[in-house]
Structure formats: structure tokens, C-alpha cells
Chain A
Amino acid sequence: MDWFNKWLDTLYNTFIVSNRYMTLVEGLIKTIEITLGALLIGVVIGTFVAIVKVFCENNKKFKIFDVLCNIYLTVIRGTPVVVQLLIMFFIVFVSAEDGTWVATLTFGINSGAYVAETIRSGILAIDKGQMEAGRSLGFSQAKTMWFIILPQAFKNILPAIGNEMIALLKETSVAGYVAVIDLTKAGNQIKNTTYDQINPILLVAIIYLAMVLFMTKLLNILERRLRKSER
């Protein structure tokens, strides 16, 4: 058991000495902050863009909004998120001192593009009889969308949105590019100070995996609850 005791010693030196584990905890909090903030921004932008596209696609008067949405989707999905992050931090918000909110905004805008297409496909999958039923009762197009179409669409696309959430969480690991000390960057810093090339990185990986498993579990519960009406 000699190697085991040696490993414990290494762990002690790497994480416990001078409270280095706190760097990881702070990084973890930052990662969660950025993910949740970006998720919120992404869902709001995504829902908005999806609705605009559904309403304006076949409407000559509002064609311009459809075109604007398409430009947004093309640019965001056509460039790497790291490059978008660099553009936002070093070109758009040059005076930003803290990269955290810039990163949150960037990941939100990025995620919004993917969420938009998911939500749009969810809306298009709802039978057009639902819109007609809502309209025939006297609901406006917008109210029918809000009260009748979107709840059904969200239920159907929940697994896809879950995927996007998981992808987003992992994508935030590039936040270190704009001087944010997130979970990945924190692990990397510990690696550099302690010269322990193995344990910090592995621990970071395990923490990401645990978070993803937790999110998956949460999504499953939510999905089961929403599927109640299909029993």
C-alpha cells in the first residue's frame, strides 16, 4: 500500500496545503454562475427568435425581421464560441475589467441560436389545429402561442434543451480565455503552482461529470412530471 499513501500525500500537497481547494470551489461557483446566467439569456433570446421566425417567415410585411434572425443564426453558428468570446472581450467590451459578465453574455447569445432552432422545430411540430382552436375561442395569435402552443412545444423539446444545457455547461470551460477563473482555469492554476500534472485535471473532470449527471437526473424528473398528461 506504499503507492496509496504516497498518492494521499500528493493529494494533500496539491489541494489542502494553503487551502488550494478553495480555488476550485470558487471556480466551480463561477462556472455555475456563468452557466445559469447564459442559460437564462439563451432561453429568452431563443424563444424570442423562434417566435419571430415562425410569425415572420411567410409574412412579406415583416420579412426584414426574419432576415435579421437568419443573420444572427448564421453568424453565431458559423463561428467558434472561443472566437466570439475573444471578439466580445477584446473588441466590443474593451473597457470590461471583469470577464465574467462578458463570458455570460457571450455564452447566452451563443446558446440562444441553438435554442432558437430547437424551439422553432418544437413549435412547428404542434398540430395547426391547436392554433385554430385557440383562435376560435377568441385568443389572439400571441396569446394562443403563449398559453397553448409554447407549453406543448417546450414539453416536446425538453430532451433537446437538456442537451443544450449540458453542452453549455461544458462550453463555459473556455471562459479562461478572457481572464475568468472558472473551474477549468482553477484546476489549471493548481496544476501550475504544484507541478501535479495529474490530480487537479482529473478532479476537474470528475466535478464536470458529477454536475452533468445531476442535471440529467433533474431533467428526467421534470420530463416525467410534464409527461403526466400522456399516461
Chain B
Amino acid sequence: MSDNYLIKTQELSKQYMGGKIVALNKVSAQIKKGEVVVVIGPSGSGKSTFLRSLNLLEKPDKGSIIFDGKEITAPKTDINLMRRKMGMVFQQFNLFPHKTVLQNMTLAPIKLLKLSKEEAEEKALNLLERVGLKDRAGAYPSQLSGGQKQRVAIVRALAMNPDVMLFDEPTSALDPEMVGEVLDVMKQLAGEGMTMVVVTHEMGFAKEVADRVIFMCDGAIEEEGLPEDIFTNPKSPRTKQFLQSIL
């Protein structure tokens, strides 16, 4: 490959309500293999829409997305096949409430990757051990705390061996004392070289872990760069204003 980008978007645009709301306005971005990119911005800036369009949970009106050398926005792409390689973690966890932690994690590997039940369970238990939840394998989601739910959601996505992990405000629905345990898992993952795109309001995480920070505003990328540059020396007045309002 001529470049080492894992994901490349070109002029993604998306409008709602017949053009009254512009969610994305010609967003072009690249994410390298192994890179941790944190997307920040005020609410309504399009950062979640951008993230969700990367695995086509939101369909962009215009523009293209290239993932792993293939244009996934092309009409004939098998998006289900592509999504297996793109793990996603949601703000509201979205665990399957009728299944145990272990069943949550083995459903997709068994049905889609055709692993045997034993293989899938062994792998799931290994992952659970890494996030300190092996003893909760038989529990139902309703029996877990918010932080535990989100850690399970992360390892559920990891069980599919994704090439990239997309995080959509993973700590926003958590009680403050549980934010740390989820961020720790994400830091560990970043340390292992996982490619990550993270939409978050946790500026501490962005400063510490991000290789690059993207600041979005009104559906467009206003500024991007190294975290130290963005946080200490923002160029755009809107970035400055946003950082002042939250720090």
C-alpha cells in the first residue's frame, strides 16, 4: 500500500431535516494503523455522527470512506463483513440484557466467525480476565455496575478481533467514580497498539493517550494536531473558546 492509513474519509457530508441541520460538512480525515485519535467538540458539533459514519451506522449523504484499502461507501460493499473488523463501544453500553456476560461475548464469534462454543468461550474468558471480570462471566448485564457493563462492552467488541475500535462517548453515562476503570481499560488497549477513534469529553484521557486530537465544530474539522499543541496553544479562536469553557 502506498500509505499506511487504516481509515480515510473524503469530504463526508450529512444533512438532517432536508438540509436544515448540517451534521457533517465535508469532513476529510485519516487514521493511521496503531494511532489513537480523540475527537472533541461542543455538543451538536457532529463528532458522534462522524464516528458513527465510520462503520456506516449513519449513512453519509456524500463523500467516501476507505477502510483497509476498500471503499466501504461503494454500493456493492458487504458492510456486515467490514463491520466485523470495526469494534464499537456505545455511550449506553447496549449489552444484550437477555444474555449473560459470556453469551454477550460469544454470540457474534460463534455465529459470524464460526468459532466453536469452546473456542469462543475460552477467548472470552481470557479477555474478561484482562479487564478483571472473569468472575462475572455468568452474570446478566442487569447485575453489573455501569463501569462493569462498559468494560464488558469493550471486550465484547474485542472478541471479534477488530482492526480498529470506535468509542462513542464511552464514559458519559457513567457515575464519576466508575469513569477511571473504563479509561484504564482503554489506556491498556492503546498501549497494546490498537487503532482507536474516541469521541469523549475526558480531556485528561485525550492529553495522556491521544496521538492526535481532532476538534470539531458545526460539522466540520476546525483544528487538528498533537494534543500538547491543541491544549496549550490552540490556533483557532473557537478551539480556544471551547477549551476555556470546559477546563
B160 contacts partner chain A, Cβ-Cβ < 8 Å: yes
Residues of B within 8 A of A139 (CB): 80, 108, 111-112
Q: Are B140's CB and A137's CB within 8 A? A: no
Closest A residue to B113 using CB positions: A138
Chain B interfacial residues counted at CB < 8 A: 29
**A229 lies within 8 A of chain B by Cβ:** yes
**Contact assessment for B83 and A130 in the assembled complex, using a CB-CB cutoff below 8 Å:** no
A132 with B57: CB separation less than 8 A:
yes
Q: Is residue B86 within 8 Å, beta carbon to beta carbon, of the partner chain?
A: yes
B contact residues around A136 at 8 Å (CB):
55, 57, 83, 86-88, 90, 157
Q: Are A230 and B160 in contact (CB under 8 A)?
A: no
Bitwise interface map of B from 82 to 113 toward A, beta carbon under 8 Å scored 1, else 0: 01101110101011111110000001100110
Docked pose: A129 CA to B88 CA in angstroms: 12
Given contacts A133-B96, A147-B111, A151-B98, contact A138 B140 (CB under 8 A): no
CB-based nearest A residue for B55: A136
Would A132 and B83 be within 8 Å (CB), given that A137-B160, A147-B107, A231-B143 are in contact?
no
Neighbouring B residues of A231 by C-beta, 8 Å: 140, 142-143
B39 → chain A, closest Cβ, in Å? 17
Chain A residues near B160: list those with CB within 8 A. Answer: 137-138
Residues A129 and B112 in contact, CB atoms below 8 Å apart: no
Contacts of B108 in A (CB 8 A): 137-139
Say whether A143 faces chain B, with CB atoms less than 8 Å apart. Answer: yes
The smallest beta-carbon distance between B196 and chain A, in angstroms, is 15
**A170: interface (CB < 8 Å):** no
Assess the B94–A137 pair: CB atoms within 8 A.
Answer: no
Q: How many residues of A contact B (CB 8 A)?
A: 21
Rounded to whole angstroms, the CA-CA distance of A130 and B141 in the bound complex is: 13
Which residues of chain A are near B247, meaning CB under 8 Å? none
> Which of chain A's residues has its CB closest to B107's CB?
A147
- Is the CB of B17 closer than 8 A to any CB of chain A? no
Q: How far is the CA of A147 from the CA of B104 in the complex (A)?
A: 11
Q: Does A152 contact B (CB under 8 A)?
A: yes
Q: Mark B139-180, 1 if CB is under 8 A from A, else 0.
A: 011110000000000001100100000000000000000000
Give, as a whole number of angstroms, the nearest-CB distance from A126 to chain B.
10
Q: Any chain A CB within 8 A of the CB of B1?
A: no
A143 to B94, CA, bound (A): 17
Give chain B residues whose Cβ lies under 8 Å from the Cβ of A135: 57, 80, 83
B140 CB to closest chain A CB, in angstroms? Answer: 4
B81 CB-CB contact with A under 8 Å:
yes
**Alpha-carbon separation in the docked complex, A132 to B58 (Å):** 10
> Of B83, B90, B107, B140, which one neighbours A129 at CB under 8 angstroms?
B90
The distance in angstroms between the C-alpha atoms of A148 and B55, with both chains bound, is 20
A140 with B140: in contact, given A130-B94, A130-B96, A229-B98 (CB under 8 Å)? no
Give chain B nearest CB distance to A135 CB in angstroms.
7
Of chain A, the residue at the smallest CB distance from B87 is A136
Residue of B nearest to A141 (CB): B80
CB distance A129 to B80 under 8 Å? no
Answer yes or no: A191 CB below 8 A from chain B CBs.
Answer: no
- Say yes or no: A229 contacts B94, CB within 8 Å: no
User: Could you list some 23 contacts between A and B, CB below 8 A?
Assistant: A127-B92, A129-B94, A133-B90, A133-B95, A135-B57, A135-B80, A136-B83, A137-B83, A137-B107, A138-B81, A138-B83, A138-B112, A138-B160, A139-B108, A152-B96, A155-B98, A229-B97, A229-B98, A229-B99, A229-B140, A231-B140, A231-B142, A231-B143
Q: A132-B90, A133-B88 are in contact. List 10 more A-B contacts (CB 8 A).
A: A127-B92, A129-B90, A130-B96, A137-B84, A138-B108, A138-B160, A139-B108, A229-B97, A229-B99, A229-B100
Residues of B within 8 A of A (CB): 55, 57, 80-81, 83-84, 86-88, 90, 92, 94-100, 107-108, 111-112, 140-143, 156-157, 160
